[in-house]
Amino acid sequence: MNRRGLLYTALLAAGLLGAMNAGAATIKIVNQDVGTGQGFDDHTPATPIGGNPGTTFGEQAFNVFLFAADIHGAYLKSDVTIVNNATFEPLECDATGGVLGSSGPVSVFTFDSPQGNVPANTWVTGAEADAIAGEDGDPGNPDIQSQFNGALGSPGCIEGSKWYMGLDHKVPSGQIDFLNVVLHEMSHGLGFLGLDSLTTGQPFQGNPDIYSYFVKYKGTPWYSLTNAQRVSAAVDDGNLAFTGATVVAEAPLALSQPDVYRVTAPAGAVGDYGFAQASFGPLATSANFSGAVVQAVPNDGCNAITNASAIAGKVALIDRGTCDFTVKSLNAQAAGATAVLLANNQPAAVTPGGTPASPVNIPVILVSQADGNTLKANLAGLTGSVTKGNGLAGTNADGVQIYAPAVLAGGSSFSHYDTRLTPNAIMEYAINQDLRGEIDLDLGPALFKDIGWGIDYTNQLLLTCDTGIPRVVPGGMIIGANVFANAKILAGSAADVGAYRSAITAYASQLAADGLITAGQASSLNACLSDAETQKQFDAWGAPPPPPGIALTNNVALTGQQGAVGATKAYTLDVPANAKTLGLRTYGGSGDVSISVTDPSGKVTTQPNRPGNSEMYTAAKPAAGTWTLTVKGEKAYSGVSVLGTYVK
């Protein structure tokens, strides 16, 4: 393969060729926040929540990332470790909305000859190219770079919100499911994105990319259009589609009939109207969104509704513009409206969003500018309800629609499924409240198969034991992958095999109770949770007991340390009572090491590994007693220094 294009750096690599015949992928997460005290290194205390055992913000955030990596890795095939760099940074946002995350491949590759679904001289991401070739085309460098919004919930950045770090989708009102965001962003890095310029229409460095290769515009393949035609097509809402055979075949399994607003009177407005569901408030359904429609006064709803007596018990029609969607909705709610029907004031599509100052308890939807004008012209006797329309939501004659709003949205246009998909898809441009990424990736795996990834549809194994539950099934359910990810995180946080056995058995029982596995699958899974099997799982994934250690002297580096790949070596530091800070670190030399730390109570903290030997653990007000630093050779290493320091 030929590495001619870099998205975050500018390097070159030689050619490799190979064929896809691989096992489950391993996705390694590299914490770029080490030493910053922020993001993944944020030591703010946190209570374990939703299956996430972390006790600090940073631990919980990193656990979510590991969980997402295990889910994607369970069904993707690759014998080459995928390296995903990750950090928290302040990203673009304002008080009511903004960017939650940003991710993409560090580099892209082409092959000189066709490779399965990938034509010759067509860009694929570094992670996929490695999987196809069977070896790392750029050893020592990451495959994916990810950033997440570290300012979320602070003044001026989606105020009133915060990240939800559970793994169970039991998201409290006003919080954002971090797992869904990570699954989404990791998918971009794995290949769910187009590379062409949408402002010039030019292919990236003169070659097609595999994602765009499967896109059509009104029946015409993307790369059969001229540059100018591609620029126009990118903003022609509703007319771009992903046409891969797997995505098209699985669409009926993942999608339902579209939700529409159906007007039954007067005659001039009768018909079905598509709409965008607000990201706040309850979902609009036939049960909660029906009846007579009344225009709010003022029309934009930005101040207290003055015709409250007419609005009460009715659907409030409100124009978009002037103020935030949430302000309009709360004003309508205060006036007694049962629902809010927003009319767009511009051609560009948008999903009503924001963080309300208080809960919005009525459904809110938005129709297009043209449809809004029709409704406003027929207000006398206007009546309708939300119901199901015809066909499959989010599809057209070519395939499954991709996002092409009338106003180009950098970072969102083209590289997402369209917002018309129903149910909402994990790869739409906005994270919706009804997503269940921990168990359902809808049409994401199908698209990966179309663009050339190997997808493992076999049953999920716990080590060598067959659970009887497929890793992924057509349509995107990933219960097997969820079993694997939960088993690893439960084992890693358990104090002993008994605690792990209890936790994983309770989890399996809940899967059955929720109807997510059949009786036969429950029986197969339980067979993998016998005493003998759970002991093997705990031995493989549980935190190892601290070995005897080499004593360190406070603030005196132990130099010249070396070890083999996979070998561990322990170092101990006796910390007196009332110490203010503790630092345990490795640095210098060659190779690559990772570290874990055991405190005097026996609690083990495994630090996310960075390439090389610069690893650090810090603690404020450390407990008195013996602390153990365990160093593991990720690669053979030598010349490494080990240092333990405390300040009294």
Which has the minimum average pLDDT: 18-22, 140-144, 398-402, 576-580?
18-22
- Whether 416 maps to a domain, the answer reads no
Percent of the chain whose predicted confidence (pLDDT) is above 70 = 96
Q: Judge whether 366 and 318 are in contact, CB under 8 Å.
A: no
Structural domain that includes position 280 = 259-388
Pairing verdict, β 175-177 and 162-164: parallel
Among residues 372, 388, 404, the one where a domain terminates is: 388
Cβ count within 10 A of residue 103: 23
Q: What are phi and psi of 219, to 5 degrees?
A: 90, -10
Q: Which residue has the tokens 């004031």?
A: 345
Q: What one-character DSSP code corresponds to residue 244?
A: -
* pLDDT at residue 9, rounded to an integer: 30
- Which neighbouring-strand residues pair with 582? 619, 646
| HEC readout, 109-141 | EECCCCECCECCCCEEEHHHHHHHHCCCCCCCC
Mean pLDDT of 632-642: 93
**Of residues 505, 558, 548, the one with CA closest to residue 530:** 505
| Together in a domain, 522 and 560 | no
Which has the minimum average pLDDT: 65-74, 413-422, 603-612?
603-612
- Triad 475, 481, 486: Cα angle to 5°: 140
**pLDDT tens digits for range 495-545:** 899 999 999 999 999 999 999 999 999 999 999 999 999 999 999 999 766
| Together in a domain, 524 and 595 | no
- Whether 343 maps to a domain, the answer reads yes
Q: What are phi and psi of 317, to 5 degrees?
A: -95, 120
Distances in Å between the Cα of 564 and the Cα atoms of 130, 568, 635 are 26, 8, 7
Arithmetic mean of pLDDT over the chain: 92
How many domains, the chain? 4
Q: What global pTM score does this model have?
A: 0.75
- Which neighbouring-strand residues pair with 290? 385
For the chain, the first-to-last Cα distance in angstroms comes to 56
| Together in a domain, 6 and 139 | yes
Among residues 541, 557, 588, the one where a domain terminates is: 541
**pLDDT tens digits for range 294-326:** 999 999 999 999 999 999 999 999 999 999 999
* Cα–Cα distance measured from residue 615 to residue 610, given in angstroms and rounded to the nearest whole number: 7
CATH code for position 381: 3.50.30.30
- Whether 131 maps to a domain, the answer reads yes
In single-letter form, the type of residue at position 473 comes to V
* Cα–Cα distance measured from residue 448 to residue 191, given in angstroms and rounded to the nearest whole number: 7
* pLDDT tops 50 at residue 3: no
- Whether 348 maps to a domain, the answer reads yes
**Confidence class of residue 128 from pLDDT cuts 50, 70 and 90?**
very high
* Cα–Cα distance measured from residue 284 to residue 286, given in angstroms and rounded to the nearest whole number: 7
Q: Judge whether 87 and 115 are in contact, CB under 8 Å.
A: no
| Together in a domain, 535 and 561 | no
The dihedral region occupied by 183, where left means phi > 0, alpha psi between -120 and 50, and beta the remainder, is alpha
| Together in a domain, 465 and 384 | no
**pLDDT tens digits for range 67-114:** 999 999 999 999 999 999 999 999 988 887 888 999 999 999 999 999
**pLDDT tens digits for range 240-288:** 999 999 999 999 999 999 889 999 999 999 999 999 889 899 999 999 9
* pLDDT at residue 47, rounded to an integer: 95
Helix H or strand E encompassing 560? strand 558-563
Q: Judge whether 293 and 382 are in contact, CB under 8 Å.
A: yes
Among residues 496, 518, 541, the one where a domain terminates is: 541
Alpha helices of 460-601 — where are they, by DSSP H? 479-493, 497-513, 519-527, 531-541
**pLDDT tens digits for range 149-202:** 999 989 999 888 899 999 999 999 889 999 999 999 999 999 999 999 999 999
Mean pLDDT of 394-402: 96
| Together in a domain, 184 and 36 | yes
Residues 6+ away with beta carbon under 8 Å from 462: 483, 484, 487, 528, 533, 537
| Together in a domain, 128 and 177 | yes
* pLDDT at residue 504, rounded to an integer: 97
* Cα–Cα distance measured from residue 599 to residue 576, given in angstroms and rounded to the nearest whole number: 13
**Of residues 50, 188, 42, the one with CA closest to residue 106:** 188
Q: Which residue has the tokens 């509703």?
A: 238
3-state secondary structure of 577: coil
What does R_g of the chain's alpha carbons equal in angstroms? Answer: 27
* Cα–Cα distance measured from residue 94 to residue 155, given in angstroms and rounded to the nearest whole number: 9
* pLDDT at residue 94, rounded to an integer: 87
**Confidence class of residue 36 from pLDDT cuts 50, 70 and 90?**
confident
| Together in a domain, 516 and 601 | no
In single-letter form, the type of residue at position 56 comes to T
* Cα–Cα distance measured from residue 129 to residue 453, given in angstroms and rounded to the nearest whole number: 9
- Whether 409 maps to a domain, the answer reads no
| Together in a domain, 92 and 157 | yes
* Cα–Cα distance measured from residue 290 to residue 341, given in angstroms and rounded to the nearest whole number: 11
Helix H or strand E encompassing 376? helix 369-376
Residues 6+ away with beta carbon under 8 Å from 333: 340, 360, 361, 362
Q: Judge whether 304 and 337 are in contact, CB under 8 Å.
A: no
* pLDDT tops 90 at residue 348: no
- Whether 581 maps to a domain, the answer reads yes
| Together in a domain, 211 and 331 | no
* pLDDT at residue 544, rounded to an integer: 66
**Confidence class of residue 355 from pLDDT cuts 50, 70 and 90?**
confident
**Of residues 269, 291, 271, 440, the one with CA closest to residue 363:** 291
**Confidence class of residue 8 from pLDDT cuts 50, 70 and 90?**
very low
* pLDDT at residue 13, rounded to an integer: 24
3-state secondary structure of 495: coil
The dihedral region occupied by 98, where left means phi > 0, alpha psi between -120 and 50, and beta the remainder, is left
| Together in a domain, 85 and 192 | yes
- Whether 623 maps to a domain, the answer reads yes
- Whether 632 maps to a domain, the answer reads yes
* Cα–Cα distance measured from residue 258 to residue 426, given in angstroms and rounded to the nearest whole number: 17
| Together in a domain, 563 and 527 | no
* Cα–Cα distance measured from residue 518 to residue 479, given in angstroms and rounded to the nearest whole number: 11
* Cα–Cα distance measured from residue 131 to residue 117, given in angstroms and rounded to the nearest whole number: 13
* pLDDT tops 80 at residue 10: no
